[in-house]
Structure 1
């Protein structure tokens, strides 16, 4: 009997020991996921799925690795296997629902979430998985729908109620995330702070607090939180990533360029601490893009090995195109961006920058019409890209395609009426319309004076924005000369020539330099010509000033001779 008892005791011990090994292995896999070591986690979970095929948690966590790395179809396969292997484990239904949300199919997601609740409505993990699914975002795309915070909070609150003893830190991390993503930092702090009392070794919550400070531009406070995480665990990669991004953002708000370099250094450390998966390298490349380290970006994008049939190959083509353009390798940029658009079948994943860089590369290749189409799409998605429309308009202007140039400048003005570069947009819009009218007039095409009205309106805006832009008055005078009646001129240009003269002559250091003497002469000549048949004394006054400021001019000198000549006999005294 003693021997039998010993055998039973030994067998029970082996079973318990095996269970402990399994639990620790699953826990290690989850820690690897949290540390963003996805390849390592995937390898561990695949092994667990093979050795513990009836445990639904193994499938769920493996599926989540696939979702986090962008392989939605692979995740679905694993979740479905998890449902078949362990029908009472609701998490895999929730995983299928999350895959649906990331595929923009909320109806199917709701069906799967309902199945999860039906499978196990009393387990807090069911609602935790559903709540986290509603928070999921298909990063790095900036075009997908936002998380469903209302449903996320409802399910996470239910999970918290069922986890009555507050034993799972993941519940509080998820609740904190739900508020942090909404920028409700005060509400997020309490659940994040609760995590340390449940699991003192947890690094995620404190890292998230540092991230919140970063996003609130409280950089020093965020730096402190993240450095404390690293001090506690020097191998926790996500803290280095957040520090890298913090230093990059911090550098953009000051003159301390060393912080940007420090940001790159910390991001490299993050990469070293993760398994350098395709996903982490893609994130690193995106970081390099925002850090404006385009040579390094092009080098990494060119060296990364991604199979052609891998969905991530499309993103690599994108980043190769972006970096090639910024490195002034325009033909290669066009090749890579064209390749990206050929491969990207899901238009919802096309980013603003994709349209922008394709359009800019086309513009450099002289493909103005195609460039305009794609840059317009980029501006429609984000009006801050309106300066790219200005580039198209200027290219058309330089090619003397004035009518088209004016149209594109109008688009740029509409998209960005008061922002950076708007003054030049108004100025060149006026000039494009002015030259368009002039060219059509010379070609005897009988152009509409509405073209000149647009030109006048645009140059008037320049004067309003920048009254000291002297050439704007000269340009407006020229436009109004053409606007005036040919047979019975009303002198529409007079006030603008006079204003130009007054502005320039008030500053002798300007009036006597560069082309200003010749421009002043133009103003005096035109005014003298206007008054020639109305007030010869006034005409002479202007012609005298023209000769004085620009002696080599011929028009005023000829007119002065005419005025000095004796009147023909029988014509006056």
Structure 2
């Protein structure tokens, strides 16, 4: 069959055009991955794998998409096919190594990386992607996995040496990432700025610079960097995410509700611009939690579809429980948190907040003993949760279970001696020991005074931390009254009654509002001096009557003291 020259020319053109389309498509797929549009990237790469089945690069990038979206087994299957389809391409061995790292199998990862180096020891891409694999262990929704910075930097540095002409911006980007993830922002800034020299259209480096400004609390500078990225490319989702997180953090340093709202607005744009991958939604839920938008958080968590056997199912259950509790849906919170603990088999992944919300939900359900166990675990992981222990202690205090209350307040104080709420912990700890002793004494249980010693120590701490807490001096006096020798009192309480009187009488309006308490202090001092110094006793009793004219103790004692000696003797 005769083929015309024109037809040959046309066919060659089609072949060349098709080649250009495929090359551009791989580039577009990488851009989609960078923009966190994983579904779009996946669709493009599946098409490329189908049409160019022998090109290992396509398999590798498709596998990376699976890794980024949490499907490690699917990624491993794609990488394995890539090794078979293009055995001389080192990238899919690196992909298998990255999957191994995410599966906590460092030994297998090294074996795969070593095989990759044997294939591509002179190619800078080999070392660059191995370095990136070590960095990829950093997951915003995972507080357990951590990058291996030593191996990451060693490989990226080797890649930089092999890329001697500095033609690939990705090398500088990876180098910047290696430092930025270690919070070494000064070291990261140089490589990130070099990215722009090599590739002016790169959006992520400038986004990362904006993120570093945010982490350094240079909010206006970070805002400008990120807005510049958005101005250059309004569809670049990660810039909106970082801007959202910047506004949220900025709002925490003041009462600027507008910035908090702008934070949520920008984060929503990020979600809309990406394909709502599971990873991005998990990160969005974390953002909503710290933005205190618990209503939206609960809605998002309730709509996410996660396979029951996925490790992310536990994370979704966690967010359901946290938000349900904050939305005052306590029975639902207990159900969700119980579900979370049933799903999460890895103890190392359980956070302090998980124990905290489970314990607080149990406390609301009246399960005090279980609540104490779990909240104690929350405090062990994070001492700032000591205020939740105080909640349990107060519930026992209100139920008049003072012995148990005092013990739990002791734990709260030990966990967080000077933090938020510590003043109340010392105060109620003292009262719990006081009432525990008084109750047992009245019941003739012959209690020891060890608890009173602890009570005195705690209430003394209150007067030290808050000298104008007037009642603390009165309670210290009451505690020392019980500590004193009943048969031969030494007046242990007197200095504290005097301190209470001095503090309260400094301001007439305060004295007027505390008449009965002043009367109690004067009565106690008068009673102490009744047999020791009658004139001093009379002085205190008269002050008691002036402070509280309706009181009966002081008038009765004054009457006794003013009675004629003979009559008093006869009466005796």
TM-score (norm. length: structure 1)? 0.94
- d(CA) in 2 for partners of 1:560, 1:367: 53
The match for 1:34 is 34
CA contact (8 A) 1:176 1:191 kept: yes
Q: How does 1:322-333 map to 2 (within 5 A)?
A: 322-333=322-333
Q: How does 1:461-500 map to 2 (within 5 A)?
A: 461-500=461-500
CA contact (8 A) 1:141 1:351 kept: no
- d(CA) in 1 for partners of 2:293, 2:149: 35
Change (3 A) 1:401 1:80: farther
Is 2:132 the partner of 1:129? no
CA contact (8 A) 1:134 1:148 kept: yes
TM-superposed CA distance for 1:4, in Å, is 8.9
- d(CA) in 2 for partners of 1:346, 1:49: 36
- d(CA) in 2 for partners of 1:49, 1:407: 65
Is 2:167 the partner of 1:167? yes
The match for 2:501 is 501
Task: Determine which of 502, 510, 515 is the counterpart of 1:517.
Answer: 515
CA contact (8 A) 1:142 1:351 kept: no
Is 2:213 the partner of 1:209? no
The match for 2:296 is 296
Superimposed CA distance per residue, residues 440-498 of structure 1 (whole angstroms, 9 cap, x where no aligned partner) = 22232222211111111111111111111111100111111111112221111110011
Q: How does 1:81-120 map to 2 (within 5 A)?
A: 81-120=81-120
The match for 1:250 is 250
CA contact (8 A) 2:139 2:145 kept: no
Is 2:552 the partner of 1:554? yes
TM-superposed CA distance for 1:303, in Å, is 2.9
- d(CA) in 2 for partners of 1:530, 1:183: 65
TM-superposed CA distance for 1:569, in Å, is 7.0
Change (3 A) 1:345 1:489: same
* Helix, strand or coil at the partner of 2:133: helix
TM-superposed CA distance for 1:93, in Å, is 2.6
CA contact (8 A) 1:98 1:134 kept: yes
Change (3 A) 1:213 1:72: same
Change (3 A) 1:540 1:142: farther
CA contact (8 A) 1:143 1:348 kept: no
- d(CA) in 1 for partners of 2:74, 2:232: 36
- d(CA) in 1 for partners of 2:558, 2:279: 80
TM-superposed CA distance for 1:145, in Å, is 4.6
CA contact (8 A) 2:372 2:389 kept: yes
Superimposed CA distance per residue, residues 334-355 of structure 1 (whole angstroms, 9 cap, x where no aligned partner) = 1111111111122222222222
Moved more, 377-386 or 498-507: 377-386
The match for 1:51 is 51
Superimposed CA distance per residue, residues 269-325 of structure 1 (whole angstroms, 9 cap, x where no aligned partner) = 111111123332232222211111111222222233444444433222211111111
TM-superposed CA distance for 1:125, in Å, is 1.5
- d(CA) in 2 for partners of 1:202, 1:228: 12
- d(CA) in 2 for partners of 1:5, 1:376: 84
- d(CA) in 2 for partners of 1:409, 1:84: 64
The match for 1:345 is 345
Change (3 A) 1:512 1:480: same
Superimposed CA distance per residue, residues 414-434 of structure 1 (whole angstroms, 9 cap, x where no aligned partner) = 222112211111111111111
Moved more, 26-35 or 134-143: 134-143
* Helix, strand or coil at the partner of 1:137: coil
CA contact (8 A) 1:459 1:476 kept: yes
* Helix, strand or coil at the partner of 1:512: helix
Superimposed CA distance per residue, residues 389-445 of structure 1 (whole angstroms, 9 cap, x where no aligned partner) = 222222222222222222222222222211221111111111111122222222322
Change (3 A) 1:343 1:145: closer
The match for 1:444 is 444
TM-superposed CA distance for 1:47, in Å, is 2.4
The match for 2:537 is 539
- d(CA) in 2 for partners of 1:77, 1:180: 32
Unmatched runs of 5 consecutive residues or more in structure 1: none
* Helix, strand or coil at the partner of 2:565: coil
TM-superposed CA distance for 1:95, in Å, is 2.4
- d(CA) in 2 for partners of 1:443, 1:377: 35
CA contact (8 A) 1:137 1:144 kept: no
* Helix, strand or coil at the partner of 1:552: coil
Moved more, 304-313 or 88-97: 304-313
